[in-house]
Amino acid sequence: MDIPNPSQYAIVELAEAIESTNLPIFLDGSNGSNRAVGNRPQIAANTDVDAIKAWLARFLQTKTTFDNYRKEAERLVLWSRITLQKPISSLTHEDMLTYQKFIAAPEPVSQWIMPGRKVARSHPDWRPFAGPLAASSQRQAIIILNTMFSWLVNAGYLAGNPLSLSRQRNRKSSPRVTRYLDDELWAEVKLTIDLMPKETDRQREHYFRLRWLFSLLYLCGLRISEVVNNTMGGFFARRDKSGEERWWLEVTGKGDKTRIIPATNELMVELARYRREKGFSPLPSNTETMPLLIAIGSKQRTMTRGALHLVVKSVFDDTALRLRNQGGEFDHIAAQVELASAHWLRHTAGSHMANNDVDLRHVRDNLGHESISTTNTYLHSTDDIRHAETEGKHKINW
């Protein structure tokens, strides 16, 4: 049979949430060779598209996650149907090995890769890929697809996961986190904010907003998406066993998981300063819908993730410029801070907590890590002690 080119096929068959229309029966997955037989499925889906939509429905409340998961599912569906003429529910382990090679260099290029800048799905130049995927993006794609296949197996739709025979990602030790600010650089970043002009009302608003944003990112270890997607209503106070009132911040983050984070006295002081500057009461109520961070000049409008990234990046760039102006001996650390992004502040928070002897279980829970092994990657001081002891006690003595 004739298979249309990927761009047309994606727009017709998989637009928005992998919609399916006029799908050839042998590609819809209803009779896939890997379909679970003889058990009671937990979802009503009888086709691959409906099963994938059931999986994606779990992520509708988290736009970034939903978009990323949908993108990877769509790419696999397109490749499976067009290149192999197979439904998803017939893919084998060998097929997935071939797919991993494909995403590293999608061919033919004219079919799979957009010829220029990224365009909307409705545009005739739309393709599933903007270019070959980098190694990190390849790994992320397979992790997402492994999650999808595992869920479809657990849901009773598939008999097995074609990726389960692959080398397990978590068997390798995670490398130490290197994208963080050490104490010296972190002090320079804070100094950059302290030196901001404060003469006009708008300058003061910029200054207090940055103080609040960096306090939130560092003291709570939040992701940018968590700043954007949560509100002031997440703050609440409760008394501990000694009767002391303690503030907490409840956030919903990655994977639509909710956690509570200690809102320290320092954080609450910065929050009060920021709210007073915006004309609000110092402390929020649990019914507030006001965003955690508000656009300049606005009372309620939240900022986008892109805008927040630019705001944080501008502070790092200003820090690098200030350091370079102090002389050539500062070029090295200026180059380091120029590489920093908003996510470095989350790594910085984790590293500083771990290295200041905060219990790793508490660091894990504050950051919302699944496993303590992830949190272990923030332990830099133990490496430094190990290095010093080896240096002092293990010598060849020629």
To which residue do tokens 């503030």 refer?
A: 247
Predicted local distance difference test score (pLDDT) of residue 301 = 82
Q: Respond yes or no on whether the N-terminal peptide bond of residue 108 is cis (omega within 30° of 0).
A: yes
Q: Is 83 left (phi over 0), alpha (psi -120 to 50) or beta?
A: alpha
- pTM for this entry: 0.53
Predicted local distance difference test score (pLDDT) of residue 347 = 83
CA neighbor of 109 nearest in space, from 125, 87, 95, 123: 125
- Residues 363-380, buried b or exposed e (16+ Cβ, 10 A)? bbbbbbbeeeebbbbbbb
pLDDT in tens, 51-66: 999 999 888 877 788 8
Question: What number of residues does the chain have?
Answer: 398
Residues with pLDDT less than 70, the chain: 1-26, 166-178, 299, 360, 369-398
Predicted local distance difference test score (pLDDT) of residue 72 = 94
Structure tokens given for 267:
């954080």
Count the Cβ atoms, other than its own, within 10 Å of residue 26.
14
CA angle in degrees (0–180, nearest 5) for 73-78-81: 120
pLDDT in tens, 116-160: 888 887 788 888 998 899 888 898 899 899 989 999 999 999 999
CB 62 within 8 A of CB 70: no
Tell me the C-alpha distance between 362 and 372, whole Å: 10
